[in-house]
Amino acid sequence: MTSLTAARAGRRSAERRADPSQGRPGVLWALPGLLFFGIFAIVPMVGVLYLSFTDWDGLNVPSLIGLDNWTEFFSDSTVLSSTVVTFVLLIGNLVAQTIAAVLLGAWSAGPQRNRAILSSIFFIPLVLSIAAAAVMWRQLLDPNFGVPSKLEWLFGDGNLLGTQTGAIACLIAVGSWQYIPFHALLYQGAARAIPRSLYEAAEIDGAGRYRQFRAITLPQLRNTMVTSMTFMIVGGLTAFEIVLVLTNGGPGSDTTILPFLMYREAFQSYNMGYASTIAVLLLVLSTAVSLVLVRLTGYDRMKSTLEGV
């Protein structure tokens, strides 16, 4: 037994000499990524958490004020209303973008040349600046000379951004127009990776296009769907450009979302400490919602959908 153990140890030693990468601590390979994550993620998060306990105008030295920001935060009705609006927009974008992106991605994955040409047109919004797109849509939605003013039979007085319901609907529509191409691109790649043999077997069994889509395409896109929705959640809880340009939080404060509220407190009121408190809330919410999504979908336990093919 001893000689067998010695032989195995000698063989492993010889393998390490033949391949210098064998036996090296795995942390060395992960060190660049860990260093990057630490500098650009951990350090800023710790800094924001520290600033949430200070009074700072962005110029002078921050002064510790204890839990004053947090006390004001939990008693601020604007924070509650902004949180509600944030989740309404988030859920609306999740539903609208997921449905449209799945259908567009699966359709554009086809081999037909006309689909490739149309796909290149559909993906144009993806390359546009978010701020520029919001400015364009603000002009198009203008109640005086925009599209609604020419279609009074459909939009009434045309002041779509003058009510909370209309403004939220416009924000969801513009956000979907901007980001659906990105998510459709994810689904297109995933749909093209589905083996053709699965569809051929379904055709032999007599399954139509709808049955194939429901029984083959959607299950095969499950992993991609979770990834896409995670992107939507993180993006929805951090983006504010569309709100800033399109509605500026209005009418009144009806479309004031948490990222916009943080921006307003930091760069308009110069209350960096209170803005940092809102930033901590956004960090906690985005992390919590992402973890809940992963847990509910079982994404952490998923295996390859192509297993056995």
Task: Please name which of 107, 105, 108 lies closest in space to residue 97, comparing C-alpha atoms.
Answer: 105
* Percent of the chain residues topping a pLDDT of 90: 53
Residue 146: give its domain's CATH number. Answer: 1.10.3720.10
pLDDT level of residue 9 (50, 70, 90 thresholds): low
Task: Please name which of 261, 263, 254 lies closest in space to residue 167, comparing C-alpha atoms.
Answer: 254
Q: What is the mean pLDDT of residues 286-298?
A: 82
Residue 54 DSSP SS3 = strand
Q: Is residue 230 included in any domain, yes or no?
A: yes
CB atoms within 10 A of CB 225: 19
Q: Are strands 63-64 and 54-55 parallel, antiparallel or unpaired?
A: antiparallel
Residue 132, domain extent: 80-299
pLDDT in tens, 11-30: 555 555 555 545 456 678 88
Residue type, 65: I
* Percent of the chain residues topping a pLDDT of 70: 88
pLDDT of residue 308: 44
Number of independent structural domains in the chain: 1
pTM strictly above 0.75: yes
Instruction: Check if the beta carbon of residue 216 is closer than 8 Å to that of residue 202.
Output: yes
Q: Is residue 233 included in any domain, yes or no?
A: yes
Q: Is residue 26 included in any domain, yes or no?
A: no
Phi, psi torsion values for 216, nearest 5 degrees: -120, -60
pLDDT of residue 1: 47
DSSP state of 124: G
Q: Is residue 138 included in any domain, yes or no?
A: yes
- The dihedral through the CA atoms of 189, 192, 198, 201 has a sign that is positive
Q: Is residue 11 included in any domain, yes or no?
A: no
Q: For residue 181, what are its two tokens?
A: 């191409």
User: Tokens 């037994």 map to which residue?
Assistant: 1
Q: What is the mean pLDDT of the chain?
A: 85
pLDDT in tens, 90-148: 999 999 999 999 999 999 888 777 877 887 888 888 888 888 899 999 999 998 888 88
β-pair partners for 63:
55
pLDDT of residue 121: 85
Burial of 244 (0-12, 13-18, 19+ CB in 10 A): middle
Q: For residue 9, what are its two tokens?
A: 């140890």
Q: Is residue 99 included in any domain, yes or no?
A: yes
Q: For residue 190, what are its two tokens?
A: 């995933």
171 sits in which H/E element: helix 164-192
Q: Is residue 113 included in any domain, yes or no?
A: yes
CA distance 84 to 91: 11
pLDDT of residue 120: 80
Q: Is residue 121 included in any domain, yes or no?
A: yes
Task: Please name which of 131, 42, 96, 110 lies closest in space to residue 228, comparing C-alpha atoms.
Answer: 96
pLDDT in tens, 258-291: 999 999 999 999 999 999 999 999 989 888 888 8
